[in-house]
Amino acid sequence: MRLSDYKALTFDTYGTLIDWESGILAALRPLTDRVAQKLTRDQILQAHAHHESTAQAQTPAMPYSRLLAVVCKRLAEEWETPVTWDECLTYGQSVKNWPAFEDSASALQYLKQYYKLVVLSNIDNASFAHSNRKLQVDFDAVYTAEDIGSYKPAPRNFDYMIAQLGRRGIAKDQILHVAESMFHDHAPANAFGLANCWIYRRHEKQGFGATMNPGEMPRYGFRFDSMADLAQAHRAELASV
């Protein structure tokens, strides 16, 4: 199995290309600074993962910015800290401020020369537009939870992506799904028989951060600690031919 065997790279965005954990923590600081007990980084992220995944499963058609506002409300209740709905709505709009990982834009620009680049993300279109500007590349297709009406890891999202790419002449075995989240991406990629590449952004940290524990660890065909490492591996592969 070689990186050059594929025609399209399909990306999870948040956690893979956008540093959502830093963005979440910064945007929640007005709330977490008021919480009586001292919360660790992991406690905040794990609580966020629980309430986000619960809301996504229970209200799959809710746009992500609105869903984040609900997550903020649930967190405040769990931490027994008052919060206004306006504060929750402000948190829901915070995606526009979440930073890209430093290597994302340059790696995507390199990979664009060799692949169709596709987004499959648990996001709304307006929020993604802000992130797209930070990533500095024109994606060939963007499939959002808002478009599909459900959130990963729901099979419907992967069905939709595979069907849409099939209409463009890209078969399932020509797709490499590139993601950080084992829960949202790699487990369903395994179920669909998609080739997958783990960008292990959290390789220096314990646990799963802002994503749920997937239980049994999914399989993956490639693993890199960054997008820069993926791009470099592709360069090395081409040089070896």
What residues are annotated to the active site?
A: 12
Residues in the chain: 241
Backbone angles phi and psi of 80, in degrees to 5: 55, 50
Q: Find residue 143's DSSP bridge partners.
A: 120
Instruction: Evaluate the omega torsion of the peptide bond into residue 153 and state whether it is cis, within 30 degrees of 0.
Output: yes
SS3 19: coil
Before 60, cis peptide (omega within 30)? no
Tokens of 201: 């952004």
- Dihedral angle over CA of 160, 144, 47, 217, nearest 10: 40
